[in-house]
Structure 1
Amino acid sequence: MVRISAYSVATVLALLMTTATLPPLLADQSDRAVINAPISLLTAPIAGEMTEIAPGIGQRLAPGETVARIHNARIDRTTLITLDGKVSELRGSLLAARQKRESDEAYVAALDAEIKRQVEQTVAKLEGEVTEARARVGVANAEGQSTKAVVDRQQSMVDRNAASIDLVRPTQYKLEAARFDKDAESAKLAQKSAELAAVRKNVFVGNQSNSLAVLTQKRRDLAFDAQRLAIEETQLTSSLKTQTALLDAERKRLDSLTDAQLRATNGGVVLSLGAAQGRHVNPGDSVATLVDCEQAFAVGIFSYRQAQDLAVGTPVTISSAGSSEPQPGRVSEILPKTSDKTDQQYAVPFPQTERREMYVLVSLDRAEGDASTDRPRPQARTSPCSVGQWVTITRENGWIPSASVAWKAVASGFTGPEAQAGWTAVSTNVREVAVTMSHGMRRVAAWISPVSDADAARDEGHDGRRTETLR
């Protein structure tokens, strides 16, 4: 009996060691697998109060559908008021400069008309004076010629001793005076001709053109002032354009900080809500988490030795407790390990691995026309796409089962279907609880997120508590 007992204990220990060591290395099946899906996090772009939250947990959103609206009534408008004051000031300065320039230009036009009228009168007057000067030059010339003829006759009489020399001298003096008179009249003619030519060229000199010179100088000053005002108007226009652009940009910035809409860019299913209506949020606060059910997949843990048998494209089946119909799938990717940064991109973290183990990602095959990825779904699950649900992945045509699955099958022969399922319903107030057993060692991977009262109130048919399964 002692020998039989020793052999029995040794046999049991050998079986336990064999089932704990060899199946994980060679098994074509893994129950350390979970349904997962990529998520997108919607965060608050501005600070403010949540005025509206459209969806509820589990609701499917179309691409571009509004998720929430945020309103911020406490906005600092000091910069906007300052810019508005500068724009108003520039507009007033621009209007004043434009009106002054237009007034100067009108005055210049009036001066041009007056100068033109006076120039015409002056030209006509000078032309008359020039004509008069020419006539006087002709008279002086004729008198000189007449006096010269008298002098010549008297000189001839003196030469013939018919008259005295004293008779000729007065006439000679008169001839010299006629010549000087002619030169004076010629000078006056040249002066009047020069004044006429200058007036025609808008050059005003002399006493007669003094008024025209004053008007011309005044016209020139006003023209220069109008040009200065035109340059100032251009500068003010450029400054006004710049300040108006800054004002519009500030208004748009304040509008974007006052009201904001959060939209589901690519659509998805609402996994969780991080804010309730009426709550104050800060920039970067999580408002909602969307899960992409179209990209749902199963991730399982297998030994490195199964890498060749589980190559990409290998068909597998996925089954879960509470679902009698397994779902087909195919291996889409193999990962040696993961990181916290990678886990943040998915609804639940990847399960923990041991040495010489790898992750096998399985895409779920859906029937044609069926966009739902909610299979397999146990009745106790309420999360979208069944994310976080533990499943069993089995390679097609595989013949080495997982140790835990085998033991459950053996236990089902003794304790019935409840032991075969190996699951006990647990009522708890946490979002996700996942507990795995590996190689005879207990390993716990828990994702805990307290359920808020608002989330509990939204869940139809539930009293705020989650009914989960704990293996």
Structure 2
Amino acid sequence: MKAATTSIDPRDRKILSVSRILGYAFAFMLIFIIAMAMIPNQFFIVSTRAVINAPVQLIASPIYGRVDKISLQVGQVVNLGDVMATVSNPNQDQTSLTGLRLEKLDLTEKLNNTTSVAAERTEQLNKVKTQIDSVKAGVLSELSAVIVNSQFNVQTYQARLNEQDALLLRQQTLLKKGLISDTSLEPQRQKRNAAQAELDSAKGELRRNEIVQSLVGRDIYTGGTVAANLLTLEMQRTKLAGDIAEDNIEINQMTERKQQVENLIAREEGRLGKTGAAEVTAERYGQIVSVDASFGDFVMQGQPVAKSLDCTEAFAAAVYRSRDVTALEIGTPAMVNFRSLGVKRSGRIYKIVRYFNSGPENRYFAKFPEAEGHEVYVLVKIDEQTAEDGSVAKQNNDKFFGCNVGEEVIVSLGETITSRIARYSKAVVAGLTSPVSILSASASLDKTTGPRLPADKTATP
């Protein structure tokens, strides 16, 4: 009987082995799928209120006059100093120069006032921060003292409970010996239960104070007069920080405009007395997105003849709820979905602001999506496309010129665990295969194994 059971057909044994291998493979795949399903994404939130935007550069006429020559078309690439048009005014006088000087004086005064206001708000913000730190330190110190007192109460009530337990045990011993009755044991049992209740209450008070201390340490205030004062100070700090950010934006805009006016004044002073014509030139690289004047039109000084933008400055502006992006940091990965093109581009968060507008003179190409008081703007810088060899791909100025500005997109913030693992794996492989790492590894190997010997010599023991 034993010989019959041990002699198995080799074909049956192969079938059994294959079945066992397939079973192990199925179990491994099942465990892997369950594990991947239990691992959540790092972070992933989506906004459908997003648009591709970019700062617009105005190509403006330096004087009042008639357009004599213009050679511009939408999509045209312009470089710094390129002549875009020619404007003439035979009756040119110093009216334009006077207007520019008055505008410079006005900009200088506004710039000084705004700078002074920003400095005052910064000083006030520092005072509020110091006050918040002082109040918070005082609250934490007071809570520490309360916790120490609570710990002492717990120790006291614990000692009292131990004493009552000993007395109750003594009464129970006397009851077993028949020296006292059962009725005389009940008062001692009640005293012991009362001591236990006092100890539980003291422990609960200690735990509550420890929780409050932990919450205050993490800037979470649950109630009370001190918590209300801290919340008021936090609101002041937030408002001051937002006002300072707006002041800095306004200062940057006025500084840029002042520099433009100074350039126009210098150009006007050099032109007066020579000719009644001026050239409209581009002040930086970009692509023409609109032509606002044609041959024979009369234009005012500073009136835009055309508008251009630089695709390297394009970004996606998306609206999110403030609480959804509180934990996000600058540099968080993002994905921008161009719905009309059916393509996706990766990017990074480079700014999170509460208030943002188009600025004077249509500073941005597209209007920002409407945001409510509890929402913020998340600005995403789109990564440059790379070629197959890993180099940055050259942009085709004829295809989708203007970087798709004004197009509504879907922005997803965060990075899945699988993409994160893939990114880390690529970084590790790149680090291991780089010449520097190989050289350092070989050097460390030489240090640990000793000096190398020539090929015709062997090491002696």
TM-score interval (norm. to shorter): 0.3 to 0.5
Between Structure 1 and Structure 2, the one with more strand by share is 1
Q: Which has the bigger relative contact order, CA under 8 A and spacing at least 6?
A: 2
TM-score by length of 1: 0.38
